[in-house]
Amino acid sequence: MDATRSWNPSEQQAFDAYSQAVSGAAERVGPAVVRIETQGRGPGWLRRHGPGGSPGGMGSGVIYASDGHVLTNAHVVEQAAKISVVLADGRRLPGGLVGVEPQFDLAVLRVGARDLPVAELADYQLRVGQLVVAIGNPYGFGWTVTAGVVSAVGREIQAAPGRWLRDLIQTDASINPGNSGGPLVDAKGRIVGITTAMVPFAQGVGFAVPMSAALVVIGRLQDHQTRLPGAKLGVGGMRTSIDPAVVKARHLQRDSGVLLLEVLPDGPAGRAGLKLLDVIVAVDGQPVMTPEDLHQAIARSHNGRAAISFLRDGNLRRATVLV
């Protein structure tokens, strides 16, 4: 997938609005989609024989943090003895398992690379009939794009004996073996779900875990995640890169901040109006780039008050937090 190609006017005219939306969404998220190959006896959807004749599996994933964190399905990796992650640029890297949450069929991996392309996470109420695009590696065919609509929300299916997946997104975007763990994105290329299952022998029925559940899992498993108990801020987060255009437009002092993956509603930050996916960039005028920076800045605040500067949808906002 070439996300940098520019279209000449005649080619652009051949695209109707639907095609432009699908193509644009795929180009935005495509560089962050990865292929995951496993060796061992993991129960991935696509079975094949790996090196030495040992059984292996294949699935998909998506990079959500530029320091190498990848979101995928638990069933793709949870029983793997070895995990390889193939990036969109062709690099093959060993994957380390940060953790799994089988009840959500989600897992977080880490690869040893930085400054990777990332996909934007979006948690909002989807509408039935809304355009969605799935990207993954069905049957081993890399970086395949399928499109459809949200067929229903709040679905429940039995993924295995004794294991039910709930509150799923149902879509008619084609999801096949190997798609598991790949992103389901909206027309703006934002991840709204992680594709998780298909119904055997059915046509036009696929499912995805919603981003609301994925954010909970990331917050639990992310190895940079911290609840900052000493500061009692009531948040959990991780370092994230900020779009250079936003850095320039908002005159920020640093190109990284703390992405909030957990905000307790009754905590100081929640009461001050901060929300999931806000990016804290400064406390009392001093830039923060990591959860530890944030912890220390809050601890230095005077009179139990801290002025928080944060980004929301690319706009710089401020709030006073009582800690």
**Active site amino acids:** 75, 105, 180
State how far the Cα of 237 lies from the Cα of 228, in Å rounded to an integer: 9
SS3 of the chain? CCCCCCCCHHHHHCCCHHHHHHHHHHHHHHHHEEEEEEEECCCCCEEEECHHHCEEEEEEEEEEECCCEEEECHHHHCCEEEEEEECCCCCEEEEEEEEEECCCCEEEEEECCCCCCCCCECCCCCCCCCEEEEEECHHHCCCEEEEEEEEEEEEEEEEECCEEEEEEEEECCCCCCCCCCCEEECCCCCEEEEEEEECCCCCCCEEEEEHHHHHHHHHHHCCCCCCCCCCCCCEEEEEEECCHHHHHHCCCCCCEEEEEEEECCCCHHHHCCCCCCCEEEEECCEECCCHHHHHHHHHHCCCCEEEEEEEECCEEEEEEEEC
Q: Which residue's entry shows tokens 């229903």? A: 152
Residues 224, 291 contacting (CB under 8 angstroms): yes
Question: How long a stretch of residues is the chain?
Answer: 323
Q: Which residue's entry shows tokens 């509150």? A: 167
State how far the Cα of 196 lies from the Cα of 44, in Å rounded to an integer: 11
Interstrand relation of 106-111 and 46-49 (parallel, antiparallel or unpaired)? unpaired
